[in-house]
Amino acid sequence: MEVISEMFPVVMWVLVLLVFWYFVRKILVSLSDKINNSELYKEDILNVLEEIRDQLKELNKNNSVK
């Protein structure tokens, strides 16, 4: 029983550290996902804008030929 009493604080600290690490990791993973999603969104927006630019160029060429 003494051994268990002596180890109890150590076990509790380990559990506290594990819980702390779990929450920190969850926060970091969430932040990383948001950053990755924003970069994908940025790439998609750039692609759409490039397509619009190309279409406007075509329309401008067609209007200038007439």
**pLDDT score for 65:** 67
CA distance 5 to 11: 10
CA dist., res. 17 & res. 25, Å (int): 12
**What six digits make up the tokens of 21?**
């690490």
- pLDDT value at residue 66: 59
At 18-38, the pLDDT tens digits run 999 999 999 999 999 898 888
Q: How far apart are CA 27 and CA 45, in angstroms?
A: 27
Which segment of 4-8, 28-32, 50-54 scores lowest on mean pLDDT? 4-8
Predicted pLDDT at 58: 93
